[in-house]
């Protein structure tokens, strides 16, 4: 098993593998296409030279609007080899939002993959990779402190911010992925998230620092998940958002000979976690992380406590504080603050937003804006995002708790609770749900089922059933649910007490 040193980058790892074991398998794509370390490194060198010919210089930005493919990985590493900063964007964002993010990034080169995204100034990824070039670009490799990525947050609760991540950060969180999964030379990571989400880079980095093949899909698909994970001989996979909930509510079953032993991620509900492990015989390793600070708290197969997100990594300090920034006692909810003990444990800044960057810190502590508790053994328990609360009739209602009750219904795949304006001040609760495929149920029936399980002040007044807007990581975009508001097909229970 190969492990990156603290002063290494993913590039230095890949260069070493290409030299020491050029014919060993590196990547396995969605259609079982493959790349070796040697072939991949040479292709990335050629692509880097082609980028230089397109005018890209060290320190400039390369935007990609592409689905997962080996060619996309080549372009990513090529950009890094010349010291450029990669800005991966979601092709499904729509022209307005894409245009806004492109304008913010100010790229020298814009790469698309021939899909529905049509931008006049872009170059097709296939055309870029056809350009002739020497396989060794004339550029010094970037150091750990150099900008590698600008990841725009998924914006589930509001406007996205561009998180600037360094090469050292990528290598560091790759080592933490490897530690969380306890990877060895027999493991194989299977990535089901898109390479414009930080989780996909986290899983990729884990494979690189561990020196083992990395299998990936274009996007998550419950219908083929078990078959594909068997085909690529995966032992661990990454998850985000509702992926485990969707697998639980799908008809697919683990296939014979499947090697999966664990999945790594965050955001699964406690009841879904238990059911997933029982049904699929795969350990769920919940952790806590953000784009700004990836997985500072996690658990391993040997160190778990049911319902928690784990304990702090040895590289982080954590505090739980009240609204006056005073530390609270174990079991008391408070905001999570984090401090890195290593130079590359946190994001560098928000892209061209010094005010938001400053506001993200309380002195040397990164303020997560997440509400948690910590027990006497040091295990953390996620409660909710600060602000993901509805003020209703003078009571603070946890949207997370309301969602959890209705998400436990066997016909419900996803649930989102948001606040909408009330007639008499404060807010009322709107519950929006997406049913499992083939399920039929009226909003009134669902409302009647759920209110028996909640105190009266937490009863949603409004219920809407339909397809929920989601990010690429399968997180519900609550701000979009809220902006849609009350529609003609929204059920009004009349509950106002």
**Which residue is it, tokens 């954590």?**
318
Residue 383 included in any domain: no
Question: b/e string for 284-303 if b means 16 or more Cβ within 10 A?
Answer: bbbbbbbbbbbbbbbbbeee
DSSP state for residue 255 in the 8-state scheme:
P
pLDDT at 134: 67
pLDDT at 246: 87
Confidence label for 117 from pLDDT (cuts 50, 70 and 90): low
Least confident range from 109-118, 255-264, 469-478: namely 469-478
Q: How far apart are the C-alpha atoms of 58 and 491, rounded to whole Å?
A: 55
| 241 and 273 part of one domain | yes
DSSP 124-151: EHHHHHHS---SS-SSPPP-TTSEEEEE
| 355 and 446 part of one domain | no
Q: Per residue in 28-51, pLDDT tens?
A: 999 999 999 999 999 999 999 999
Question: b/e string for 263-280 if b means 16 or more Cβ within 10 A?
Answer: bbbbbbbeebbebbbeeb
Closest CA to 497 of 458, 464, 444, 440: 458
Confidence label for 260 from pLDDT (cuts 50, 70 and 90): very high
Q: How far apart are the C-alpha atoms of 263 and 199, rounded to whole Å?
A: 12
Domain boundary among 344, 374, 404: 374
| 335 and 395 part of one domain | no
Say what angle helices 10-20 and 70-81 make with each other, to 10 degrees: 110
pLDDT at 135: 61
Does residue 461 contact residue 443 with C-beta atoms inside 8 Å? Answer: no
296 vs 268, higher pLDDT: 296
Residue 5 included in any domain: no
105 vs 480, higher pLDDT: 105
Residue 379 included in any domain: no
Residue 109 included in any domain: yes
pLDDT at 262: 98
**Which residue is it, tokens 């490897």?**
178
Closest CA to 173 of 151, 213, 204, 211: 204
Question: b/e string for 368-405 if b means 16 or more Cβ within 10 A?
Answer: bebbbbbeeeebbbbbbbeebbbebeeeebbbbebbbb
| 325 and 451 part of one domain | no
Confidence label for 157 from pLDDT (cuts 50, 70 and 90): very low
| Host H or E run for residue 369 | strand 365-374
Confidence label for 96 from pLDDT (cuts 50, 70 and 90): confident
Write down the H helix ranges in 409-476: 443-451
Residue 125 included in any domain: yes
Closest CA to 223 of 186, 253, 178: 253
Does residue 112 contact residue 122 with C-beta atoms inside 8 Å? Answer: yes
Q: Which residue segment(s) compose the domain that 457 sits in?
A: 389-492
| 279 and 333 part of one domain | yes
Residue 380 included in any domain: no
| 233 and 258 part of one domain | yes
Does residue 483 contact residue 419 with C-beta atoms inside 8 Å? Answer: no
The whole-chain average pLDDT of the chain stands at 90
Confidence label for 324 from pLDDT (cuts 50, 70 and 90): very high
3 vs 348, higher pLDDT: 348
pLDDT at 189: 98
| 258 and 330 part of one domain | yes
Q: Per residue in 368-393, pLDDT tens?
A: 999 899 999 999 999 877 767 787 76
| 435 and 485 part of one domain | yes
| 358 and 443 part of one domain | no
pLDDT at 497: 42
- Is the pLDDT at 282 greater than 50, yes or no? yes
Domain boundary among 374, 404, 438: 374
- Is the pLDDT at 103 greater than 70, yes or no? yes
Q: Per residue in 381-430, pLDDT tens?
A: 998 777 677 877 656 687 888 998 899 999 999 999 998 888 655 789 99
Backbone angles phi, psi at 76, to 5 degrees: -60, -50
Does residue 268 contact residue 282 with C-beta atoms inside 8 Å? Answer: no
Residue 303 included in any domain: yes
| 368 and 423 part of one domain | no
| 228 and 313 part of one domain | yes
pLDDT at 482: 85
Domain boundary among 374, 407, 428: 374
- Is the pLDDT at 314 greater than 90, yes or no? yes
Q: How far apart are the C-alpha atoms of 285 and 260, rounded to whole Å?
A: 13
pLDDT at 90: 86
Does residue 292 contact residue 311 with C-beta atoms inside 8 Å? Answer: no
pLDDT at 14: 97
Residue 382 included in any domain: no
| 425 and 368 part of one domain | no
**Domains identified in the chain, total number:** 2
Look up the CATH number of the domain holding residue 431.
3.30.300.30
pLDDT at 139: 63
Q: Per residue in 213-257, pLDDT tens?
A: 999 999 899 999 999 999 999 999 999 867 898 899 898 999 999
Q: Per residue in 172-213, pLDDT tens?
A: 999 999 999 999 999 999 999 999 989 999 999 999 999 999
Confidence label for 116 from pLDDT (cuts 50, 70 and 90): low
Look up the CATH number of the domain holding residue 202.
3.40.50.12780
Q: In percent, how much of the chain has pLDDT > 90?
A: 72
pLDDT at 161: 86
- Is the pLDDT at 169 greater than 90, yes or no? yes
Q: What number is the average pLDDT over the span 99-118?
A: 88
């Amino acid at each position: 098993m190969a492990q990156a040193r603290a002063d290494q980058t993913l590039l230095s790892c890949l260069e070493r593998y290409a030299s020491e074991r050029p014919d060993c398998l590196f990547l396995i794509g969605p259609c079982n296409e493959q790349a070796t370390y040697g072939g991949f490194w040479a292709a990335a060198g050629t692509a880097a030279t082609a980028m230089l010919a397109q005018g890209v210089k060290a320190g400039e930005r390369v935007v990609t609007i592409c689905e997962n493919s080996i060619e996309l990985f080549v372009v990513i590493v090529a950009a890094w080899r010349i010291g450029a900063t990669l800005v991966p964007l979601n092709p499904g964002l729509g022209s307005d939002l894409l245009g806004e993010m492109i304008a913010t990034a100010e790229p020298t080169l814009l790469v698309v993959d021939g899909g529905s995204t049509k931008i006049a100034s872009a170059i097709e990824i296939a055309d870029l990779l056809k350009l002739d070039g020497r396989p060794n670009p004339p550029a010094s490799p970037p150091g750990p402190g150099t900008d590698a990525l600008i990841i725009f947050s998924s914006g589930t609760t509001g406007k996205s911010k561009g998180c600037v991540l360094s090469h050292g950060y990528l290598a560091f969180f790759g080592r933490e992925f490897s530690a969380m999964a306890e990877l060895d030379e027999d493991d194989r990571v299977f990535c089901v998230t898109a390479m414009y989400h930080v989780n996909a880079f986290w899983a990729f980095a884990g494979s690189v620092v561990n020196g083992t093949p990395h299998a990936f899909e274009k996007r998550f698909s419950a219908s083929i998940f078990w078959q594909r994970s068997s085909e690529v001989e995966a032992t661990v996979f990454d998850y985000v958002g509702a992926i485990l909930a969707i697998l639980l509510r799908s008809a697919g079953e683990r296939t014979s000979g499947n090697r999966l032993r664990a999945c790594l991620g965050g955001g699964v509900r406690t009841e879904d976690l238990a059911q997933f492990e029982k049904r699929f015989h795969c350990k769920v390793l919940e952790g806590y992380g953000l784009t700004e600070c990836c997985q500072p708290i996690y658990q391993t197969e040997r160190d778990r406590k049911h319902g928690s997100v784990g304990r702090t990594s040895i590289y982080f300090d954590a505090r739980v504080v009240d609204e006056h920034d005073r530390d609270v006692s174990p079991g008391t909810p408070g905001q999570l603050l984090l401090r890195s003990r290593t130079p590359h444990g946190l994001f560098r800044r928000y892209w061209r937003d010094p005010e938001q960057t400053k506001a993200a810190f309380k002195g040397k502590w990164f303020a997560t804006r997440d509400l948690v508790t910590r027990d006497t053994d040091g295990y953390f328990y996620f409660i909710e995002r600060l602000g993901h609360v509805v003020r209703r009739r003078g009571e603070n209602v946890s949207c997370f708790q309301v969602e959890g009750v209705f998400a436990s219904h066997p016909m419900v795949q996803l649930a989102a609770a948001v606040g909408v304006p009330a007639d008499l001040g404060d807010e009322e609760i709107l519950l929006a749900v997406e049913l499992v495929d083939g399920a039929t149920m009226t909003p009134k029936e669902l409302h009647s089922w759920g209110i028996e399980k909640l105190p009266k002040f937490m009863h949603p007044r409004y219920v809407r059933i339909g397809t929920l807007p989601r990010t690429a990581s399968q997180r519900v975009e609550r701000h979009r649910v809220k902006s849609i508001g009350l529609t003609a097909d929204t059920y009004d229970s009349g509950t106002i007490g």
